Amino acid sequence: MAGRFGEAQSSLSVAAQSLRDHFGTWLALAWAQLLGEQPEAALRTFQHSVLLDRNFAESHGSVAVVQANLERVEEA
């Protein structure tokens, strides 16, 4: 929220490696990447969160948002 996306990414990367199976941590990391203008990294991280919990709708929706922003409408 403070706009320090690089700092958030660093902290969340450490957390994601420590909590490898916690999809919410990966989801937060992906949002920090997206807001830090790294859409391709965010897409990969969102996709990883989907693999961890295929039932969490926000992960699927987030993948679609990034794909749409990358003009990959059919994939979205």
Q: Is residue 18 part of a domain?
A: no
**64 near 74, Cβ under 8 Å?**
no
Whether 13 and 20 have beta carbons less than 8 Å apart is answered as no
2-59: pLDDT as tens digits = 788 888 889 999 999 998 888 889 999 999 999 999 999 999 999 999 998 888 788 8
Supply the range of the domain harboring residue 49.
Answer: 23-76
- Other C-beta atoms within 10 Å of 75: how many? 12
Domains held by the chain: number: 1
| pTM summary value | 0.86
Residue 52 in any domain: the answer is yes
Cβ contacts of residue 13 below 8 Å, gap of 6+? 29
Residue 7 included in any domain? no
Taking residue 25's Cβ as centre, other Cβ atoms within 10 Å add up to 20
* CATH code for position 49: 1.25.40
Question: Angle formed by the axes of helices 5-18 and 23-35, to 10°?
Answer: 160
Query: Is 55 inside a domain boundary?
Result: yes
